[in-house]
């Protein structure tokens, strides 16, 4: 083809373009022309399908054309785009098809008449069809700015279809021009794995070299830290009574300094815990806000542990860390708190959480006719209160301990009823007052 400015695009048997590794489609527009006024030898690309990917702008010829046609699938690598022009709003533009213009630095396929080397030309995308030009422009910007192609530059050389894109990588076959092995097929995948292992191994070795050096330094550091620690300890012991402000100030400085180096001072451990735990504590308080609202104001500590670690992804925290982080909240002004129930279950709840309010809702639930007749289970309460069943059970147990409810254990399960025992008259067990929950219950229960 004369004037090979644009790289060819390999296509699958069904006409889809073969994508590069990690290349993702972003947008498609149909009935698009690509024009270039600067180059007379620019190919005629009319009414094709324009595909924007993370790496390229691919133009596919329209379906109606046969294989041996004047135009074939071509692409402009986004890496060669130097500028995207913003849409021109003019009177002319209203009557014409919408256009997007961009500037790219393209190479000419060697072996053709004009001089080799890059030329900066302006290409116009003419959207003749019904595509949304502005949206496409937006996506074009995003993909271009995303620079997805750059993250792969450091990797080993792969066989890409950017034939004339950079001029150095071209041709097909197992070996590229530099002699590096091409990554194609299963062997390509295996090869890639192998190379990744080798490079990881190498970097690990290098790291350990540094580590050895660090360890020898660490010995000195440890001795220094010990000296500091002794000083701090002796400082706090010598003052049996009140300490004056100066002494306290320098001691605090020392502690801060030690903390910043990452060493845990024994004095600090007693009071606020290491810096790590303080930071973790704050981070946890921020993180837990959203799940807490979603769970209705109270979450099991075990669930928080799972959520938090999953969100962190790496650098997982241990259960002890979590517990310590929660207990540090007492020292800060955060809107959440750790709470331990009598049953041993630990939860995180909003400080604004009111037990009383929950009891009001439980009471309302347990005094409706069905509940009077058959009581409520933890799952019933969970649905009404909008919280997890385990949390609901804790609330029910707490309400029971306050005398609001009493339990009924039977083969049907563990259920709760409104507490009627206070309503029973000691002197006359047959007496039922005309009004009140007892009489309501009698009425409802006798229906069944």
Partner 1 sequence: MQKLGDFKLPHFFNYPPYFTLQPVRDTREKQVQVWKELILDYCRTQKIFVIGLEEDFPLFSNPVIERSLSHEAREAFISALVSEAGRAEWLGKGHRKCLILWHRIQDWADIILRFVKDNGLEDSVITVEEMRSGVECRGTELHGIDRAILMRALRLLEQKGKLAIFKGTSADDEGVKFSM
Residues that bind partner 1 (CB under 8 A): 375, 400-401, 403, 406-411, 415, 417, 419-422, 424, 426, 429-430, 432, 438, 441-442, 445
Cβ atoms of 124 and 32 closer than 8 Å: no
In the complex, what is the shortest distance from the CB of residue 261 to partner 1, in angstroms, rounded to a whole number? 53
In the complex, what is the shortest distance from the CB of residue 394 to partner 1, in angstroms, rounded to a whole number? 15
Q: How many CB atoms lie within 10 A of CB 169?
A: 19
- Looking at the Cβ atoms of 360 and 424, the one nearer to partner 1 is 424
In the complex, what is the shortest distance from the CB of residue 347 to partner 1, in angstroms, rounded to a whole number? 21
Reduced to 3 states (helix: H, G, I; strand: E, B; else coil), residue 401 is: helix
- Looking at the Cβ atoms of 203 and 368, the one nearer to partner 1 is 368
- Looking at the Cβ atoms of 149 and 438, the one nearer to partner 1 is 438
- Looking at the Cβ atoms of 36 and 366, the one nearer to partner 1 is 366
- Looking at the Cβ atoms of 25 and 400, the one nearer to partner 1 is 400
Q: In what order do the strands lie in the sheet with 74-77?
A: 7-8, 74-77, 56-60, 45-53, 25-35, 118-127, 99-107, 81-84
DSSP H or E segment with residue 117: none
**Phi and psi, residue 105, nearest 5°:** -105, 100
Strand partners, 415: 408
In the complex, what is the shortest distance from the CB of residue 414 to partner 1, in angstroms, rounded to a whole number? 9
In the complex, what is the shortest distance from the CB of residue 322 to partner 1, in angstroms, rounded to a whole number? 31
- Looking at the Cβ atoms of 364 and 424, the one nearer to partner 1 is 424
Task: Give start and end residues of each alpha helix (H) in 330-422.
Answer: 355-366, 369-374, 378-385, 389-401
Strand partners, 7: 75
In the complex, what is the shortest distance from the CB of residue 231 to partner 1, in angstroms, rounded to a whole number? 54
- Looking at the Cβ atoms of 78 and 397, the one nearer to partner 1 is 397
In the complex, what is the shortest distance from the CB of residue 380 to partner 1, in angstroms, rounded to a whole number? 15
Which among 46, 58, 21, 326 is positioned nearest to 160, based on CA atoms? 21
Distant-in-sequence, close-in-space partners of 180: CB < 8 Å, separation ≥ 6: 156, 157
Helices and strands, counts by H and E, the chain: 14, 13
């Amino acid at each position: 083809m004369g004037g090979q400015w644009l790289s060819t695009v390999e296509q699958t048997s069904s006409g889809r373009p073969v994508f590069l590794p990690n290349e993702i489609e972003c947008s498609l527009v149909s009935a698009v022309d690509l024009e270039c006024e600067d180059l007379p030898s620019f190919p005629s690309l009319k009414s094709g399908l324009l595909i924007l990917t993370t790496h390229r702008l691919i133009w596919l010829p329209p379906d109606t054309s046969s294989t041996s046609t004047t135009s074939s699938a071509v692409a402009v690598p986004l890496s060669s785009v130097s500028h995207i022009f913003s849409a021109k709003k003019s009177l002319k533009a209203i009557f014409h098809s919408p256009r997007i213009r961009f500037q790219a630095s393209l190479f000419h396929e060697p072996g053709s008449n004009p001089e080799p080397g890059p030329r900066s030309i302006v290409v116009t995308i003419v959207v003749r069809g019904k595509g949304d030009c502005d949206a496409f422009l937006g996506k074009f910007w995003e993909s271009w700015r995303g620079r997805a192609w750059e993250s792969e530059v450091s990797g080993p050389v792969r066989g890409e279809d950017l034939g004339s894109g950079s001029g150095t990588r071209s041709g097909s076959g197992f070996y590229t021009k530099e002699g590096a092995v091409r990554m194609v097929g299963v062997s390509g995948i295996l090869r890639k794995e192998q190379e990744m292992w080798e490079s990881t191994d190498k970097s690990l070795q290098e790291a350990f070299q540094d580590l050895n050096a660090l360890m020898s330094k660490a010995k000195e550091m440890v001795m220094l830290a010990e000296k500091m620690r002794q000083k701090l300890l002796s400082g706090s012991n010598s003052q049996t009574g009140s300490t004056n402000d100066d002494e306290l100030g320098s001691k605090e400085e020392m502690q801060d300094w030690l903390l910043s180096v990452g060493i845990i001072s024994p004095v600090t451990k007693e009071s606020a815990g290491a810096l790590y735990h303080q930071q973790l504590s704050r981070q946890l308080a921020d993180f837990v806000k959203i799940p807490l609202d979603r769970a209705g104001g109270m979450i099991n500590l075990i669930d928080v542990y799972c959520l938090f670690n999953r969100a962190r992804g790496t650098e997982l925290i241990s259960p002890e860390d979590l517990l310590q982080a929660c207990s540090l909240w007492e020292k800060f002004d955060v809107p959440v708190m750790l709470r331990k129930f009598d049953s041993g279950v630990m939860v995180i709840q909003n400080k604004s959480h009111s037990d009383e309010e929950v009891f009001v809702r439980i009471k309302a639930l347990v005094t409706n006719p069905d509940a009077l007749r058959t009581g409520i289970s933890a799952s019933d309460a969970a649905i009404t209160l909008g919280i997890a069943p385990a949390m609901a059970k804790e609330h029910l147990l707490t309400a029971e301990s306050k005398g609001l409810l009493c339990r009924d254990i039977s083969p049907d399960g563990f259920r709760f009823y409104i507490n009627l025992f206070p309503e029973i008259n000691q002197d006359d067990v047959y007496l039922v007052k005309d009004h009140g929950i007892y009489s309501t219950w009698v009425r409802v229960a006798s229906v069944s």
